Amino acid sequence: MALDALVPAAAGGQTDPYFTPEHELFRAQLHRFVEAEIKPNADAWEAAGSVPRAVLRRMGELGFLGVRYPEAYGGSAMDTLATAILAEELGRSTFGGFAITVLVHTDMASPHLANAGSAAQQARWMPGIVAGTTITAVAVTEADAGSDVAGIRTTARPDGDGYVINGAKMYITNGVHADLVFVAAKTDTAAKGSRGVSIFAVERGTPGFSVGRALEKHGWLSSDTAELVFQDCRVPASHRLGEENRGFYAVMRNFQNERIVLGAQAMGEAQAMMALTLDWVRGRRAFGATLWDKQAIRQRLAMLSAEIEAARRLVYHAAWLDAQGRDCVREVSQVKALCGELVNRVAYACQQFHGGMGYLRESVIERMVRDARIQSIGGGATEVMLEEVAKRLA
């Protein structure tokens, strides 16, 4: 079964009640780009450990990096549903490392500038972000503070006309090669809990800012991930985004977008795994028949296909709620919990049905299984997400 078959065929320019003809055109353009320019080349990026900058610039030229940003900066001024399409189609590429490299830039890091940056800050950095010449990362997570943003220990001490940042960040996607990093740091160390956090834009090459080490990972191999170190790193006050001591709320605000993106990416990956596995079981023979002829196998795949479609619908609904400006913390948390777990169940089953071939590094499904594992951990672990849902069930 070709992956093309999983892209809804156009019907009068609109195929889904959530999407407009503009959305569907965007999906089709992105799908063609992934098929022509990503899938034939991304194995080399896995080996190299990063996505070439030329690829990101090409995506900028095609308008894929500024989907939600104003036309004045080269963006398309679309909505959250367009973001979901972007993440789903990149997930369907089968290369999770490539997908997350792009999505961190477009929907996890740069939104801090879009949401809280001043007009001068946006004019300075946003054109390059949309063009793919300025690649971004977001540095919130620390070794002892992941989803618990209140546990941040990195500090930014006011000093003259700027701030001096000290601390370290861990598991930072795009951290090795990013040109601009949005850093969460405590500006009021006496404040309790989530209070006293501010966000700063730190450019590569700033004295006192360095990559501590590139991190080797279980999956997402074409995504560079780093430990970042700040040692008496001075930034001007003009690099602070938004109000001092209000950064926690900025991080929380963007978590919703981040989790929709991760859910959509996971469902794109799940669709691709299903397509690969359907092709495999229809051709693989065992005990005198194809694997597809085995009732237990085809029924399990049928049930997984139903679960994938249901989860996709939840992703779309959460994206629609967000686009309408509605409170959707519960739905977004459900998306992140459900999709992160489901993509791993799909991965397990699909690898099982590939048999020994599914365990070889040369098979696509083996790579996808490794890439899927992080989906229930990164961006809010399943257990954290379920607590967010539970709070809103009472």
pLDDT digits (tens, 9 = 90+) for 72-91: 999 999 999 999 999 999 99
Residue 4: its pLDDT value, please?
44
Q: Which residues contact 354 (CB under 8 A, 6 or more apart)?
A: 277, 280, 363, 365
d(CA 106, CA 189): 31
pTM: 0.93
Residue 143: its pLDDT value, please?
87
Residue 146: its pLDDT value, please?
64
d(CA 182, CA 138): 5
Q: Which residue, among 44, 132, 135, 144, has the nearest Cα to 95 in the 3D structure?
A: 44
Residues 236 and 324 in one domain: no
Q: Which residues contact 249 (CB under 8 A, 6 or more apart)?
A: none
d(CA 390, CA 394): 7
Pairing of strands 136-139, 285-286: unpaired
CATH number of 44's domain:
1.10.540.10
pLDDT tens column, 303-334: 999 999 999 999 999 999 999 999 999 999 99
Domain final residue pick, 214, 244, 274 = 244
387 among known catalytic residues: no
Residues 119 and 156 in one domain: no
What angle separates helix 247-283 from helix 329-354, to the nearest 10 degrees? 30
CATH number of 345's domain:
1.20.140.10
Residues 270 and 384 in one domain: yes
Residue 259: its pLDDT value, please?
97
Residues 281 and 357 in one domain: yes
Residues 378 and 263 in one domain: yes
Residues 267 and 382 in one domain: yes
Those residues of the chain that have pLDDT short of 70 are 1-15, 146-148
Q: Mean pLDDT across the chain, nearest whole number? A: 93
Residues 80 and 191 in one domain: no
Quote the Cα angle for 33-73-197, to 5°: 100
Cβ atoms of residues 369 and 298 within 8 Å: no
Domain final residue pick, 97, 131, 165 = 131
Catalytic residue among 258, 269, 331, 388: 258
Q: What is the DSSP letter of 175?
A: T
CA 191 to chain centre: 31
Residues 151 and 180 in one domain: yes
pLDDT tens column, 150-186: 788 999 999 999 999 999 999 999 999 999 999 999 9
Residues 158 and 292 in one domain: no
Residues 232 and 290 in one domain: no
Residues 307 and 339 in one domain: yes
Residue 172: its pLDDT value, please?
96
Residue 68: its pLDDT value, please?
96
Domain final residue pick, 106, 131, 156 = 131
Which range marks the domain in which residue 201 is found?
Answer: 136-244
d(CA 110, CA 135): 9
Paired tokens of 205: 């090459």
CATH number of 236's domain:
2.40.110.10
Paired tokens of 74: 């080269």
Residues 224 and 301 in one domain: no
Number of domains in the chain: 3
Q: Which residue, among 150, 102, 390, has the nearest Cα to 265 in the 3D structure?
A: 102
